[in-house]
A = this chain, B = another copy of it.
Amino acid sequence: MSTVTTTTPAVPRFARRMQGVSNELASILALSAGSGLISFAGGLPDPRTFPVAVLEELSGALLRDDPAVALQYTPTPGLPGLREAFRDRLEQTDGHRPAWEELMVTSGTIDAISLLARALVDPGDVVAMESPTYLGAIDAFRGVEGEVRGVPLDEEGIDVAAFEQLCRTAPPKLLYTVPDHQNPTGITMSEERRRRLLDLCREHGVVVLEDVAYRELSFTPRRPPSLWSIAPEVVVQAATTSKTFFPGVRLGWAVGPAPVIEQMVVAKQNSDQCAGGFGQRLLEEYLRGGHMDPQLQRSNALYKRRCELMLASLETHLPDGVTWNRPGGGFFIWLTLPDSIDTVALARRARDAGVAFVPGRPFHPDGTGLNTMRLAFSLADDGVIDEGVERLGALIRSAMEAQ
């Protein structure tokens, strides 16, 4: 036996699928860290919305009465009680009750995206998505070597004519969309646009992945029907409870055609096997106890107030030539600056000035959007929003004057 005494750490050749995947999500979360910083960066819920008192009661009761289930492994599609509670919830919110085998518990939206990507997308398959869009989804589809194609969106949502053109020239296998209070733009797709889009997807055999992460975070009760409720035969809806319950247990659901959910369950067996049972039981009791809607009312009142504060500050402090939307929900305001402004450089200067935001380029599958930026109003205290926006305004003004 030869004794090789190499002590250099191994740096193996990594898999090809890792080459297209960026590290930008981590960099963005890192931007929001640091004490004393006014952070408009990460899309994090405010801890004030976490239902601490109810959780104390529920966790105590579960540990006393049901530890053998709550602390054990669960079936891969989730505990029956939570699946049933999610079905009830969908009947209430979406007006359509899925069959038992059409719904699974996930470890959050990004888990559902990753599971569907692995179940469905071969290297080279075209995946269409809004541009800009949630960058975790861009990376998840690149991570299975999907060919990611951005489709523009306007104030009514995805540009259906551009999507139809894509269907004719490079037919997508999958369309990923965030129709409600979109990340990063805050745009909500109109009902007419939804119906036209789904007709096209049916016609061209495109599976739709509807990400409803921000759907329940609406400032008004009115909302268009979910894509899944309109076309359950072609839509997989992925939801997270990180913004409506809390993120510290990784939970959500995926609902869609039974054969697709079945393959996602197989993929999940070889991923984390199941979502945590303790969180599943907590969430089931939380939903059964009727705590979700009152929490949502409180959360949405908080986020609406912050959004209005930020919009007022933008009016006050930002120079002419910068535009933004007025979101009806969610966590984000999307800014477009003059073409010549580089928001990646601006983000570094802002960080030095004690303010964090996310530059818009990483949200664009084609690497454009250098003059755009995302501001999250979800986590910043009311009292610092105006100060943060004022600092940003000064930096933007100075960048524009330097041109």
- The chain A residues found within 8 Å of chain B, CB to CB, are 1-4, 6-12, 14-18, 21, 23, 25-26, 29, 42, 44-45, 47, 50, 52, 55-56, 59-60, 63-64, 67-68, 70-76, 107-108, 110-111, 113-114, 118-122, 125, 136, 139-140, 143-144, 173, 196, 199, 202-203, 205, 207, 232-234, 242, 246-250, 257-260, 263, 265-267, 269-279, 281
> What are the residues of chain B within 8 A of A7 when measuring CB–CB?
233
How far is it, in angstroms, between the C-alpha of A15 and the C-alpha of B202 when the chains are bound? 20
> What are the residues of chain B within 8 A of A250 when measuring CB–CB?
107, 250, 272-276
How far is it, in angstroms, between the C-alpha of A193 and the C-alpha of B4 when the chains are bound? 15
B59 touches A72 (CB 8 A): no
B143 touches A270 (CB 8 A): yes
How far is it, in angstroms, between the C-alpha of A190 and the C-alpha of B16 when the chains are bound? 36
> What are the residues of chain B within 8 A of A271 when measuring CB–CB?
110-111, 114, 271-272
Q: Which residue of the partner chain B has the closest CB to A68?
A: B47
Central interface residue in A47, A71, A275, by most chain B CB within 10 Å: A71
B143 touches A267 (CB 8 A): yes
> What are the residues of chain B within 8 A of A258 when measuring CB–CB?
9
How far is it, in angstroms, between the C-alpha of A257 and the C-alpha of B1 when the chains are bound? 25
How far is it, in angstroms, between the C-alpha of A312 and the C-alpha of B68 when the chains are bound? 28
> What are the residues of chain B within 8 A of A56 when measuring CB–CB?
60, 63-64
Give the number of copies in the complex: 2
Q: Enumerate the 6 nearest inter-chain pairs by beta-carbon distance, A residue then B residue, closest first.
A: A248-B277, A47-B68, A71-B248, A9-B257, A248-B278, A71-B246
> What are the residues of chain B within 8 A of A125 when measuring CB–CB?
15
How far is it, in angstroms, between the C-alpha of A278 and the C-alpha of B62 when the chains are bound? 15
A76 touches B26 (CB 8 A): yes
Partner of A15, one of B21, B55, B118: B118
Partner of A118, one of B9, B17, B71, B107: B17
Given A67-B50, A250-B275, check contact A10 B207 (CB 8 Å). yes
Give the Cβ gap from A259 to chain B, nearest Cβ, in Å: 5
Q: Which residue of the partner chain B has the closest CB to A59?
A: B59
Q: Which residue of the partner chain B has the closest CB to A208?
A: B10
How far is it, in angstroms, between the C-alpha of A147 and the C-alpha of B15 when the chains are bound? 14
Q: Which residue of the partner chain B has the closest CB to A47?
A: B68
Given A2-B199, A136-B270, A233-B6, check contact A249 B279 (CB 8 Å). yes
